[in-house]
């Protein structure tokens, strides 16, 4: 089930497993509230339907939390990008035979140097903000990944509790379909790197990931 905590004034969702899923599966089986559907060969029932709805709700809340966290940062990023894109003032060396001309040339050179320093600082700040935003997206992606890992393990325990025989293929797998890290990355015009974090995000959306979770010996 989904619960909320306040973080920086924003409601952040956390996933909390219901207690004793295996016993709940046994009880639902006795009360005939769960069955294996002949067409799909998967366990179906009210508990599983509610779990799927709660998982979707968690994804929606995680997306909302992430967007509310990133929006203020995106404004700072836009300002830094605009400043870093400003053209440097031109400084043409002219006749400096007079004292006043020499002073003007020095002032122009100083202004150009300051503008170049400001531009470099803005570029550095834009990179820093962008990295922070990418880190926040990666963090939320990891949290969604962990939540779905817990959900699928819990579902497996529930389904195994419904039968006295060993079952595996009958266990449904819930996969994320609302939270989209790539779409959020594109929304803010961020540039993903090719490092370990990016590979982890890509693996999260791989279909084989969830099969691995449910086949893990911990369930």
Domain locations in the chain? 2-77+141-215
From first to last of its 219 residues, the chain has per-residue pLDDT tens of 899 999 889 999 999 999 999 999 999 999 999 998 888 889 999 999 999 999 999 999 999 999 999 999 999 999 888 887 777 766 665 555 677 766 777 777 777 777 777 788 888 888 999 999 999 999 999 999 999 999 999 999 999 999 888 788 899 999 999 999 999 999 999 986 544 444 444 444 443 433 343 344 443
| pLDDT on residue 96 | 58
**Strand 43-45 to 34-36 pairing:** antiparallel
Contact (CB, 8 A) for 138 and 196: no
Question: How far is it, in rounded angstroms, from Cα 12 to Cα 2?
Answer: 10
DSSP 78: H
Length of the chain: 219
Q: SS3 for 167?
A: coil
Q: SS3 for 138?
A: helix
Q: Which two tokens stand for residue 133?
A: 């935003």
Question: How far is it, in rounded angstroms, from Cα 209 to Cα 79?
Answer: 39
Q: Nearest Cα to 190, choosing from 43, 27, 74, 87?
A: 74
| pLDDT on residue 91 | 60
| pLDDT on residue 66 | 96
């Amino acid at each position: 089930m989904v619960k909320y905590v306040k973080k920086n004034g924003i409601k952040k969702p956390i996933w909390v497993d219901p207690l004793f899923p295996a016993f709940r599966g046994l009880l639902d089986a006795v009360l005939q509230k769960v069955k294996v559907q002949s067409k799909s060969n998967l366990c179906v029932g009210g508990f599983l339907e509610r779990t799927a709805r709660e998982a979707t709700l968690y994804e929606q809340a995680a997306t909302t939390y992430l967007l509310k966290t990133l929006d203020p940062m995106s404004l700072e990023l836009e300002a830094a990008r605009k400043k870093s894109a400003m053209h440097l003032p031109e400084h043409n060396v002219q006749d400096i035979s007079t004292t006043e001309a020499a002073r003007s040339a020095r002032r122009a050179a100083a202004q150009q140097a300051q503008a170049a320093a400001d531009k470099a600082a803005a570029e550095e700040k834009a990179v820093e903000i962008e990295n922070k935003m990418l880190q926040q997206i990666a963090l939320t992606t990891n949290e969604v990944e962990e939540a779905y890992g817990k959900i699928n393990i819990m579902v497996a325990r529930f389904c195994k509790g419904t039968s006295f025989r060993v079952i595996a293929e009958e266990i449904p797998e819930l996969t994320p379909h609302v939270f989209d890290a790539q779409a959020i990355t594109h929304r803010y015009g961020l540039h993903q790197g090719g490092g370990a974090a990016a590979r982890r995000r890509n693996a999260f959306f791989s279909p084989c990931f969830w099969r691995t979770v449910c086949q893990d010996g911990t369930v």
